[in-house]
Structure 1
Amino acid sequence: MRTEFFSPGTRLGVAVSGGADSVALLHSLGAVRPHLGLVLVVLHVHHGIRGAEADEDALFVEDLAHKAGLRFQCRRVNTPEYAREAGETMEEAARSLRYAWFDELLGQGELDAIATAHTMEDQAETVLLKLLRGAWTEGLAGIFPQLKRPRGLIVRPFLQTRRAEIRQWLRASGHVWREDGTNQDMAYARNKVRHHLLPVLEQYNPQIVPHLAQMAEMAREEELFWQAEMARLLPSLVLPGRPVRGGGRAQSTHPEERSVGMEMERLRALSPAVRRRVLRAAAQGLGLDPDFDQTELLLRMCDGRAGQRETLTAELTAERSARELRLIRSRARKGSPPEYEVAVPGEVEAPAFGLRLRVRISEGKGVENARPATLRAHKAGDRVLLRHTSGPKRMKEVLERMRVLPGERTDWPVLEWQGEIVWMKGAEVVSRAAEEAGLKVEVELR
């Protein structure tokens, strides 16, 4: 267990679910508390998911705290309701609610830090999940050993410890813990990685877990370097507004539009790796986060012709002049058709699009508590994968190939689910998320 995070007198909250890892963390910190001068408080979140089993977990953790002579705090939340309202998966919602409470506790000034029991396996699973979702290199940094929050720290003393070592120590020490049944539920992405993907990868390389953890450590160091490099470059390279005659720059007078510009001469002098970082950082400075394809389009514009204009998303446009590459963020146009939330499975009447849409899930796929889909007009920057095509295409290109008249393209309906376009009017869409869930879309035109 790493203890360099702590100094004498540190007021430390210990997040304890009742599972093996968090129970071991509590006992380990309790053992070193007198030597490190720690002030411990036991924290438990009742997520409102598993009924009586979750109640028993809370009582178990409270009993652990009392036996150790420690203060116990429990926060009860309704994770399923929050997941529906926020449009998050159960995993995402549970994490959001936990860390919101942690921030609240740190903000009250009674705690200096909160310790969680993430292990080396958790790190490896996180790196794989990020990789599968198409993370940039900063995403491969995974779980940070120490995370700065607005009013304190989140620390992970077990991040370099294997899960098997923890259980072996618990058994040898005579400590008991509780098993969470949801940890075996294959409806959760992390459980699929934990119980299926990692064991398969270990057949190819038994050291895959420590290797992924090492990659995360290297990625963190790389990201720290890039953060410092961007802090040095961006102030003089990414300039607000547009250039004006006589020198200087001017921002748009429209209250809902912001823009930045970068001089082409200086951009071209950068290596592709630095240029890519600068372009992404410029868009992020406008509050948007371009994906890989959008960033590559910006890179190509650096070598393109003056006068080129590209729409990356509904809110982000890029313009290329002889002198600059400009990024402009503006609110989506008014008067767009409404967006319709569609339960999965479920159906919706959408008069704005002149259709009724029904979503079904194949039997036996085990999709529970799925986030709703969204029926909406396509947005600039949307990409869709069609049957018999080599890769995702921009919606503009697809509608042109379908010979949809320009006046009809603006409000062309699509269905978005889990970050992918899973259906669009008039074309056969391919979606990995939809295929994994056995999702079927039926449409009746009105």
Structure 2
Amino acid sequence: MLGQIQRTIQTYSLLEIGDKIVVAISGGPDSAALLHALAQMRNQYNWRVVAAHLNHQFRGEEAEEDSRYVQRLCEQLSVPCFVEAADVPGMIAETGLNPQEAARQVRYRFLRKVAERMGGAKLATAHHADDQLETILMRFVRGTGAEGLAGIPLRRVEQGIEIIRPLLEVTREQIERYCVEHSLMPRQDRSNLSDKYFRNRVRRHWIPLMKKENPHLTTAAAHLAEVLREENDYLQRESEGKLASIIEEQNVNTIVIRQKDFLRHHLALQRRMIKLILSYLLKSDVKEIGYAHIENIRQIIKEAHPSASLYLPGSLQVRREYQRVIFSTSEEAPSIPPYIYSLDIPGQVYIPEVDRIIRCFYGNREAEKRLAEGTYAVFDPAGVKGRLYVRQRRAGDRMTPQGMSGSKKVKDILIDMKIPRLARERIPLLTDGEHILWIPGVKRSNKYLPPKEMDIVLYVVLE
């Protein structure tokens, strides 16, 4: 397995001598083997290797034991270890995200934070060849194009952090054998045995049947992904160049293209250019945009009628105005009437505009154990003068977040925390009349922080 990892790293230049590497580790066989392997090679290549583990708090004591296992393994390997816990179930209840997407968002936010703390570190995840096969089959069944069948990329850049997959040409069987040979005794997540999840059903039932027809199915999928990856890379660069040549106007919320120039290009490039435009405006992968959406946009562009419009997921709009095609998105969320309420200390107030209650009370530090993370903030009672207020966000609002010396726009804080547009206006702000003190569930300010030794503090809780 070590030899295969080295070949993958060298063939695709995933790592260079002297690189800093953050290894995402759950405690399972894949990530434990990856951490162990990179630790074995670090001296040879002068790598600095650290581990990062997030407890999603889905599985109670089992998850706690996963964290302890990771820390023990890191001690044995002399690898620095960053461990954090996050209330993902609470996030799911608050946002309505599905569990896998919520866990992914929180996990990658934590991993990026560790990588940024390291300064220029690459993030290594433990996706392997069997994961690749499962992903390709899942995308095929759900519906995808050539980009989807290219599977998991060996590397990608997300928000300035380079993510690499050194195990992508290693099979699950090789990983399990490596764990036995090196007595790693990794943790086993019982949820991997549940047919509740689509990936598990593919792994446990579909693939064994398919391998009866082709025992080398994993290798075949790897070859397919490699071919499509290179072809996609070529077509992507072609479509980026062609798109740049037909754009008439572009800003953060709008892209205007010339209709006749667009139609001169091959159908394959037309579809890719449309997806590129939508991804630029959505600033993310176009997950909610499917084949039918792309074809509807093409119809608007090519039809004889000079005026037409189409509304898409993500507040996107496509308009045809004679020889111009306008793609645009609006940052506007459904309007909530302006409000401001005075909050007694102690006391509570109901905010009908967002159907929430904010209450405050004096209590000792033990009270924190009864409150969910992100639903409360504590303040120095002596520092808070006058009344507290709860109000809607206003244009130009700024706050100095805890740990920062300068102020920052509240809007930018919400965007950085990836709060969906529709959810931003539903978050009330706590103020003292002059300063914004807390954005519930997001950030608190550096105002009126209670000293660590202070026993009785002022609690403000969002319910």
TM over 0.5, shorter chain: yes
Q: Residue 9 and residue 205 in structure 1: after superposition, are their counterparts in 2 closer, same or farther (change >3 A)?
A: same
How far apart, CA to CA, are the structure 2 residues paired with 1:109 and 1:11? 7
Find 1:163's aligned residue among 162, 168, 172: 172
Stretches of structure 2 lacking an aligned partner (at least 5 in a row): 337-463
2:296 maps to 1:297: yes
Find 2:258's aligned residue among 255, 263, 284: 263
Find 1:216's aligned residue among 199, 210, 225: 225
Residue matched to 1:52: 61
Code of the residue aligned with 1:240 in structure 2: it is E
Code of the residue aligned with 1:306 in structure 2: it is H
2:33 maps to 1:34: no
After TM superposition, the score normalised by the length of structure 2 is: 0.63
How far apart, CA to CA, are the structure 1 residues paired with 2:120 and 2:143? 36
2:115 is paired with a residue whose SS is: helix
How far apart, CA to CA, are the structure 1 residues paired with 2:78 and 2:312? 55
Task: Give the drift of 1:237.
Answer: 0.6
How far apart, CA to CA, are the structure 1 residues paired with 2:147 and 2:53? 30
Code of the residue aligned with 2:178 in structure 1: it is W
2:278 maps to 1:279: no
How far apart, CA to CA, are the structure 2 residues paired with 1:118 and 1:279? 30
After TM superposition, the score normalised by the length of structure 1 is: 0.65
Residue matched to 2:437: none
How far apart, CA to CA, are the structure 1 residues paired with 2:245 and 2:29? 51
Find 1:145's aligned residue among 151, 154, 172: 154
Task: Give the drift of 1:162.
Answer: 0.5
Q: Residue 11 and residue 307 in structure 1: after superposition, are their counterparts in 2 closer, same or farther (change >3 A)?
A: closer
Q: Is the 8 A contact 1:107 1:151 kept in 2?
A: no
2:22 is paired with a residue whose SS is: strand
Matches within 5 A, 1:173-322: 173-240=182-249, 259-287=254-282, 289=286, 290-313=289-312, 315-320=315-320, 322=322
Q: Is the 8 A contact 2:29 2:186 kept in 1?
A: yes
How far apart, CA to CA, are the structure 1 residues paired with 2:20 and 2:278? 39
* Count of aligned pairs between the two proteins: 322
Q: CA RMSD in A?
A: 2.7
2:187 is paired with a residue whose SS is: coil
Q: Is the 8 A contact 1:186 1:192 kept in 2?
A: yes
Residue matched to 1:352: none
How far apart, CA to CA, are the structure 2 residues paired with 1:140 and 1:41? 32
Q: Is the 8 A contact 1:18 1:60 kept in 2?
A: yes
Task: Give the drift of 1:316.
Answer: 4.1
Find 1:79's aligned residue among 77, 85, 88: 88
2:12 maps to 1:3: no
Q: Is the 8 A contact 1:15 1:43 kept in 2?
A: yes
Q: Is the 8 A contact 1:146 1:154 kept in 2?
A: yes
Q: Is the 8 A contact 2:23 2:50 kept in 1?
A: yes
Q: Is the 8 A contact 1:91 1:188 kept in 2?
A: no
2:62 maps to 1:63: no
How far apart, CA to CA, are the structure 2 residues paired with 1:285 and 1:70? 39
Deviations 1:306-340 (A, max 9, x none): 2342423374444445534444545789679xxxx
1:9 is paired with a residue whose SS is: coil
How far apart, CA to CA, are the structure 2 residues paired with 1:142 and 1:188? 19
Q: Is the 8 A contact 1:106 1:151 kept in 2?
A: no
2:146 is paired with a residue whose SS is: coil
Stretches of structure 1 lacking an aligned partner (at least 5 in a row): 242-250, 252-256, 337-446
1:312 is paired with a residue whose SS is: strand
Percent of pairs identical after alignment? 27
Task: Give the drift of 1:62.
Answer: 0.9
Matches within 5 A, 1:13-28: 13-28=22-37
Code of the residue aligned with 2:308 in structure 1: it is R
Find 1:98's aligned residue among 107, 123, 126: 107
How far apart, CA to CA, are the structure 2 residues paired with 1:192 and 1:269? 44
Q: Is the 8 A contact 2:20 2:118 kept in 1?
A: no
Moved more, 314-323 or 215-224: 314-323
Q: Residue 332 and residue 160 in structure 1: after superposition, are their counterparts in 2 closer, same or farther (change >3 A)?
A: same
Deviations 1:178-206 (A, max 9, x none): 21111112222221221122223223332
Residue matched to 2:323: 323
Task: Give the drift of 1:88.
Answer: 2.3
Code of the residue aligned with 1:301 in structure 2: it is I
Moved more, 81-90 or 316-325: 316-325
Q: Is the 8 A contact 2:297 2:310 kept in 1?
A: no
